[in-house]
A and B are shown apart, each in its own frame.
Chain A
Amino acid sequence: MAQDMERLYQERLKRYTTAMRNGKPDKVPIRPFVAEFTAKYAGYTCQEVTHDYTKAFDAARKCAADFDWDAVVGNMVYVWTGLTEAQGTAYYAVPGIDLDPDVGFQYKEPPEGFAYMQPEDYDALIEDPTGFLYNVWLPRASRDVEPPGSPTSFRNNLAFVKGGMAMMQYFSGFGDQAARLRAESGTVSAIAGILKAPFDILADKLRGFIGLTMDLFERPEKVLAACEALMPHLTWVALSGADPDKQVPISIWMHRGCVPFVSPEQFERYYWATLKPIIEEIIARGHQVLFYAEGNWRPHLKSFAELPAGSIIYHVDQDDILKVHDVLGDRFCLSGGIPNFLLSYGTPDQVREHCKRVIDGVARDGGYICDASAIMQDDTSVENMRAMTDFVREYGVY
């Protein structure tokens, strides 16, 4: 039994890694990024899988055991709100606390005037990003952490102890989860390591998107310098979590560089100019990067094509995957392209028809991994997920 499962794991790993290097495996790999869908399937509420990561791990393993998927993420409901509550994180709406138990967690971007980084903070961030995060950002982004110079508090001290220990516990859990996925269902852990673009970090967690948009006109040199200051740190963090065997990729979650958030000129000057060197450094160290390109990135595909062939996996969300394939298909493996709307509200026949179109148009020479366009939440139909999985497994044979 254990030998059979290990054989299945090795078969799936070879299929997955072959496709990721733009090769032709035996079958089209299936690597669905399933988040709150796992809760729905396993019988948990969103609150349970968001606030108790052991239940999230359990739900992911149950899905992996019941569906013939090659690779999954150990927990795609990635933000463990038990940890964020322990350190007083202010920017999440938590299911079961702020939201109904059956609603997925939400990020609450603060109004412009209450952004966790203000315009006058640029120099401090640029001078010392790590110091800025501890001394300025975290005290503003946490209800419990006090800034330096303020009276300390019981809650302040506990926020660091509990937050640090909880993070260690949670991250350690991913190692056990990967081992159990391998042993219990022969499933590959799809990614290792996290990266975000400097511009996205400024937009997401520091200045906010509206604030950053104004900064692009009012203090563009500061924006560029801040992105540059973040670069070595984001590179270090990405590599620190990478797969030591260099089999599965580091994932980058891409947001605000897409259309229509920035102009092509802004994309080139800020987003790509400060992301490309990070990607090149990671590639130089032998790792692939999964570009999880949320939104519409078609005007920027030519920039991504500058990267070495086989160095990235490009995930397609809102763009037509056949058109993306025309631009990038000879260089990189593509994933995604199955619309979430279809998986949630379409019929199984419509799902099968779309999967056939994608396989015929994109996967004929290999280099394609089946997945939805975006992360799947609890509106995804179990019946449609089964239709996608079974059809791709049957039709996607080389």
Chain B
Amino acid sequence: MSNHAETQEASRPPGVCIPWQEKLKDLPEIKGDRELVQRVWEDVDALGYVYIWHCLLSF
């Protein structure tokens, strides 16, 4: 792959719209289960990814 592809892959990888690290900056200090918050964020964020890529591929 070219450098272009490697740069992009590192910044917004497949399956991700808003990376967890970016979302984390918006949140106060998490008092409870941080992994739970991260997992659910990433699962639902992936739906946004699936939506736009299926708009392109399937419809």
Contacts and interface: CB of A to CB of B under 8 A. Distances in A.
A316 B54 CA distance: 26
A201 B8 contact: no
Interface stretch (A12-20, A132-140, A325-333, A378-386): A132-140
A231 B1 contact: yes
A84 B55 CA distance: 9
B12 A228 contact: no
Contacts of B56: 133, 137, 201, 205
B27 to A, nearest CB: 22
Given A196-B57, A205-B56, A224 B2 contact: yes
B53 to A, nearest CB: 5
Interface stretch (A41-49, A232-240, A303-311, A345-353): A232-240
Q: Is the interface of A mostly helix, strand, loop or mixed?
A: helix
Given A83-B59, A89-B59, A163-B55, A237 B8 contact: no
Contacts of B21: none
Nearest to A160: B51
Contact of B57 (A127, A164, A228, A237): A237
B51 A163 contact: yes
Q: Is the interface of B mostly helix, strand, loop or mixed?
A: helix
Contact of B59 (A84, A137, A201, A232): A84
B11 A128 contact: yes
A82 B28 CA distance: 41
B45 to A, nearest CB: 11
Interface residues of A, number: 39
A36 B9 CA distance: 39
A48 to B, nearest CB: 19
Given A201-B56, A237-B57, A130 B17 contact: yes
A129 interface: yes
Contact of A128 (B8, B14, B55, B59): B8
A87 interface: yes
B11 A133 contact: no
A167 interface: yes
B5 A126 contact: yes
Question: Residue among B5, B13, B15 with the most chain A CB within 10 A?
Answer: B5
A280 to B, nearest CB: 13
Contacts of A138: 52, 55
Contacts of A128: 8, 11-12
Contacts of A63: none
B57 A225 contact: no
A166 to B, nearest CB: 10
B41 interface: no
Contact of A225 (B4, B49, B52): B4
A236 B17 CA distance: 13
5 contacts: A130-B12, A141-B55, A224-B2, A231-B1, A237-B53
